[in-house]
């Protein structure tokens, strides 16, 4: 009841009610949240992958991405923020109309790939066609910024669509 856990929780998941009124307010807020627990267990932009199919090792980057026969999108991420697990955009919503090979690689800030592709902010989406980099989007986008991120993706995708 001291509130230390509430203050230290990075995403505000812990709430301590000190009065009955406060308890009822918190309870109402929780009950009005439309998300279900299953909504939190989806692959999200910037977060560690839930599905092993998305996650590849740094070593498999050349084969999985550079040698891909279709448009390949790789997300470089660091697992530094729990915010991405709760508030970022589900991956399935990023490419609703386009078939791409989407993979994720966890990198450190001093990794060779970070230097090669001049990455300044994580997470970062890199777009490849025939092994050539055709676009890059850097930085975190919350679910409330989904339209902005999808707009940036759409500006890159027409340039690399197969005609």
Q: Residues 36-70: pLDDT tens digits?
A: 777 767 888 888 888 888 999 999 999 999 999 98
pLDDT of residue 162: 42
Architecture per CATH, domain 39-160, reads as: 3-Layer(aba) Sandwich (3.40)
Contact 127, 73 (CB under 8 A): yes
CB atoms within 10 A of CB 117: 15
Contact 148, 141 (CB under 8 A): yes
Q: How confident is the model at residue 8 (pLDDT cuts 50, 70, 90)?
A: confident
CA distance 127 to 43: 19
CA distance 126 to 19: 50
Q: How confident is the model at residue 11 (pLDDT cuts 50, 70, 90)?
A: low
pLDDT of residue 130: 92
pTM across the whole model:
0.76
The domain spans of the chain are: 4-33, 39-160
């Amino acid at each position: 009841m001291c509130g230390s856990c509430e203050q230290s929780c990075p995403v505000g998941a812990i709430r301590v009610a000190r009065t009955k009124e406060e308890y009822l307010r918190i309870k109402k807020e929780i009950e009005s949240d439309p998300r279900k627990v299953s909504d939190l267990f989806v692959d999200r932009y910037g977060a560690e992958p839930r599905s092993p199919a998305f996650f590849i090792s740094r070593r498999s980057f050349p084969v999985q991405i550079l040698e891909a026969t279709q448009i390949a999108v790789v997300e470089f991420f660091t697992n530094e923020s729990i915010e991405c697990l709760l508030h970022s955009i589900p991956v399935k919503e990023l490419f609703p109309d386009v078939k791409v090979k989407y993979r994720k690689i966890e990198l450190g800030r001093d990794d060779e790939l970070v230097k090669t592709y001049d990455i300044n902010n994580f997470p970062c989406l890199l777009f490849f066609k025939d092994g050539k980099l055709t676009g890059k989007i850097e930085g975190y986008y919350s679910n409330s910024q989904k339209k902005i991120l999808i707009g940036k993706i759409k500006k890159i995708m027409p340039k690399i669509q197969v005609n």
